[in-house]
A and B are shown apart, each in its own frame.
Chain A
Amino acid sequence: MTGSVPSEEVPQPGAVPNLHLGRVHRSKLANGPEVMVVPRPTVPRVELRVSVPAGAAAGDSAAAAELLRMGIPLGTRELDQEQLAERLQDLGGALQVHQDLDRLTISAAALSEAESELYQLVASLVQEPDFPRDDLAIEKAKLVEGLRSARATPHFPAHEALGELVYGRHPYGRREPTEGEVARTGRRALQELHRKTFTPSLAQITVVGDVDPRSTIRRLRTAFSGWEGPRKGWKAPRVRAMTHQDLLYLERPGSVQTVVVAASSGPTMGEPGHIAFSLATAVLGGGFTSRMMANLREDKGYTYSPHARVESHSRDGLASASMEVRTEVTAAALAELRHELARLATVPVPEDELATTRSYLEGARLVTLQTQAGLASALAQVRGLGLDHRYLERYQAELERCSAEDVMGAARRYLSPTRMTTVLVGDESAVPGLEALAPVRHRRPRG
């Protein structure tokens, strides 16, 4: 197939258009929260994001951080979880609470006619979540069951081990909660963590939808004006990431596939070098046409969904490449992945391939930001990292400026085989072949 080219009949597309968010309205509430409102009247809905520095790495315990997230929808003293859920449904609404490592984000939506009520409901959850003991006990049982199920998957132990290897004792590398920690975490611990981390002066409120910005800002001010809290909030300490040359092999008896995850810490969004780092990662494993897809799937047939991505935290960006391969080809697949990493670090990416990858990233962003929900979430994310809407608008130009040399430099610095830390989870029969590639630390299941 190599060498064959598409017919000249294929119509030529134009360039990916630049992203224009239109007028963005900003305000700062007297008690601290920064507000951003983007009118987007495509459908009569409103999307709200309220974000605070209460991420999965916050506080002293992984169990408390996770239960804080799960405890927000349990309502307030005035409105229990069932009444809250009924009110939200009346508003045509929905509510979810997300956490990344650094921040917790309440994500809510409603029909735009119910805008004020939505803000009031979310403001009450932010200020006085109740964590009632009976309801909390049910959430704890759900969390224990969820952790058991997650541990039974091959991906969960892979990511947990990788976090520990890359971040060591830094909270980013914290293990998932144990059942004992969940049992020991009570209502008081959550109230304490809430009090410390729901800091209005570090809060960000984002609204996208069919709204009038001036009245939206007024309504937000009314709803959130009573929010008080400490002036200083939690922030993750600086990361000193580690690299491990040997392969960590977690044995999972009877696995019919091996999960392979390789990761490396680099610059986060907004830091110098981040764009080259993420572009290099996308050449490796973003989209249908990435090198991992072309080689490991479409040529070798080793795997279904090989991919690589960068996850941005406040203190670093973590690139990870992952794939699930049948046990027999584990070593061959890892050898191919390392070959691709080495090639990226030593041979400039051809200009047409780089152009394809840039367009893929630009188009994916354009599509994601096309919906009210997608735009609200993207704005909340970049704001959480200390950036703003201009980062989204400038992204395309920055990608265009990033050269093949820049990409090779970033790959050499962050993605070469000697920079990646690798964890595998699978049946022990895959281990002997791997020893030809690198020393293997083989960890057998306990008991």
Chain B
Amino acid sequence: MEPGHGGGPGSGSQSHSPGERGGASLGCYDAEVDSEASTAVTTARLENGLEVVMSPERASPTVGVGVFYRVGFRLEPEGRTGFAHLFEHLMFQGTPKVPKPHFGNLINSAGGLLNGFTRHDYTAYFEILPTSALEMAVFLEADRMGQLDINSGTLRNQLQVVEEEVRVNVLNQPYGGFSWLWLTQHAFSRFPNNHNFYGEFADLEAASVEDAVEFYRSWYGPGNATLVLVGDFDPDAALQLVEHHFGSVAPRPEPPQPDLEEPLPADRREHRHLDPLAPTAQVAVGYPTAPFGSEDHLPLALAARILTDGRASWLQRTLVRERELLLHVAGGPLYPIGDSFEFRGPALFTIEATPREGVPTEEAVLALDRELARLAADGPTEEELHRARRRELARHHATTDSRLGRLTTLGVMAAVHRQAKLVDLLPQRFAEVTPAQVAEAAGRWLRPEHSTVLHWLPGAGGEGR
């Protein structure tokens, strides 16, 4: 679910946000609750390759239906920056069976909410609706996976809508797109990782119906997708519905797996961006972060909590209150549009800071460097680590309680990592992380020489504007 302003690319607007997204963060898990049937996860695979993940919870008469396609910003073609997100918009523009504008009408008239969003390595579509509309939602998702009406009229219309989305979220706002959109372009060296994910207007305007047809054919087949069902349904009956409606979607060729990797930088890179709308300076530092599943992955996820999450966090204590250098500090892997689990391929552990008036951004960066070096040298205390785990546990419960939160965490873990069941196993994994591991992970990854710094300064005529 997208906020209307300041968030990442999506199809919607604040007017149909059903509430907290909940899925912004994955947490660890209480082993005792894991055994309860209410949170059991089952998976299946159809003959055409569609992966199905189901997590029933029957306390309220609503269901969540989501389709996660394994394609995001990284896989859009060169010369077509922003295309993955533009294409997401086209998925709401009608099919031969359900012409525009009936997709949204049907969902709304059943009492449902809908939206879509695009991220680095996946694109998600979802509906949250009363139980009695489950079959309709499954039908509609199967229908638009099987055949889409792509035409120049709707392409032109949505191109204009996307340009307005970029204007409202980036071009007409102070700090628009700050670290998620601009820092990444400096931090990486290869096209999949370092282009403008929202899209250059010239590229967006060059997009053709043929491009869209090709993109759809390549990446939107059942074998490249995960269907997630959460909420009030019987798994056996629901799987029959899924087979009935999705079973007839023809398989498409297996998409290629492009090489996304790139070398770690050897020296810190520094860039300055002048923003005529920004009243005060901010700074972002991005460090390439530990890959999913590596020994440093979970320790670094906890390091993010320990460093920046809330008033008891390390950087709030030292740099905001004790030394009074910063007013705000926040960050973590894929901050601010994702978390430690939302990527497959190079990604940044980003820290954003607002220095106090009179404190140069350079001084803020030096102070950050010192704190991160201290974390690497001393590690967190056992109490700090314990609190980070408790916080993850609480977040996990809150996320599980929300249809959209549960849907998103399962969908991401299944589609991006093919490990849906890991969502409910993370607790034990987090519980096993030691202070020494956090220190070692910080020492390996949060190093000045690998980092990229973006100084965002008040002034006229910056890059990218």
| Interface residues, chain A, with chain B CB atoms under 8 Å away | 1, 4-7, 9-17, 40, 42-45, 73, 81-82, 84-86, 88-94, 109-111, 135, 138, 141-142, 145, 148-149, 151-155, 254-257, 285-290, 294, 297-299, 301-309, 324-326, 352, 355-357, 359-360, 362-364, 366-368, 370-374
Contacts and interface: CB of A to CB of B under 8 A. Distances in A.
A304 B310 contact: no
B12 A288 contact: yes
A374 B19 contact: yes
B172 A138 contact: no
A148 B280 contact: yes
Given A5-B102, A141-B327, A93 B394 contact: yes
Interface in B283-315: 310-312
Given A6-B102, A85-B312, A92-B393, A142 B327 contact: yes
B305 to A, nearest CB: 9
19 contacts: A1-B94, A6-B102, A40-B59, A42-B59, A82-B317, A85-B310, A90-B387, A92-B393, A145-B354, A302-B164, A305-B14, A352-B109, A356-B109, A360-B111, A363-B112, A363-B113, A367-B113, A370-B403, A374-B19
B172 A359 contact: no
Contacts of B397: 43-45, 92, 111
A367 B161 contact: no
Contacts of A306: 13, 15
A293 to B, nearest CB: 8
A254 B278 CA distance: 13
Contacts of B403: 367, 370
Contacts of A153: 173-174
A90 B382 CA distance: 12
B373 interface: no
A359 B390 contact: no
B413 interface: no
Contacts of B130: 13-14, 16-17, 363, 366
B99 A1 contact: yes
Interface in B221-258: none
Contact of A287 (B15, B133, B278, B321): B15
B213 interface: no
Given A367-B62, A370-B403, A359 B110 contact: yes
A351 to B, nearest CB: 12
**What DSSP secondary structure best describes chain A's contact surface?**
mixed
A148 B357 CA distance: 12
A363 to B, nearest CB: 3
Given A6-B97, A11-B135, A305-B168, A90 B13 contact: no
Interface in B350-383: 354, 356-357, 383
Q: Which of B109, B112, B114 has the most CB of A within 10 A?
A: B109
Given A305-B14, A359-B109, A92 B391 contact: yes
Contacts of B173: 153-154
A72 to B, nearest CB: 12
Given A9-B139, A13-B136, A90 B62 contact: no
Contacts of A355: 109
Given A11-B139, A294-B101, A307-B14, 5 more contacts: A88-B312, A297-B161, A302-B160, A324-B167, A359-B110
Most buried by B among A13, A257, A302: A13
B4 interface: yes
The 8 closest A-B pairs by CB, nearest first: A305-B13, A363-B111, A307-B15, A301-B160, A14-B132, A13-B133, A288-B104, A92-B394
Contacts of A155: 5
B18 A288 contact: no
A289 B106 CA distance: 9
Contacts of B165: 304-305
Contacts of B131: 17
Given A85-B312, A256-B172, A371-B402, A141 B280 contact: no
Contacts of B278: 149, 152
B153 to A, nearest CB: 8
Interface in B5-35: 5, 12-16, 18-20, 22, 30, 33
A256 B280 contact: no
B156 interface: yes
A93 B394 CA distance: 7
A110 B387 CA distance: 13
B108 A256 contact: no
A6 to B, nearest CB: 4
B390 A90 contact: yes
Contacts of B98: 6-7, 10
Given A297-B161, A356-B105, A10 B172 contact: no
B132 A81 contact: no
A379 B321 CA distance: 36
A364 B113 contact: yes
B128 A152 contact: no
B100 interface: yes
Given A13-B130, A82-B311, A364-B113, A257 B18 contact: no
B424 interface: no
A6 B105 CA distance: 10
B171 interface: yes
B5 to A, nearest CB: 8
B192 to A, nearest CB: 26
Nearest to B13: A305
A324 B172 contact: yes
A149 B4 CA distance: 18
Contacts of A88: 312
Contacts of B15: 285-287, 290, 305-309
A217 to B, nearest CB: 23
Interface in B315-348: 317, 320-321, 324, 327-328
Given A42-B59, A89-B390, A257 B167 contact: yes
B310 A17 contact: no
Contacts of B38: 42
Contacts of B167: 256-257, 304, 324, 326
A17 B106 contact: no
B407 to A, nearest CB: 12
A31 B383 CA distance: 38
B20 A374 contact: yes
A368 B403 CA distance: 10
A327 to B, nearest CB: 9
Contacts of A309: 15
Contact of B101 (A15, A286, A298): A298
A308 B13 CA distance: 11
B157 interface: yes
A10 B311 contact: no
Contacts of B443: none
B136 A287 contact: no
B168 A289 contact: no
A94 B279 contact: no
Nearest to A83: B312
A138 B62 contact: no
B262 interface: no
Contacts of A255: 172
B164 A324 contact: yes
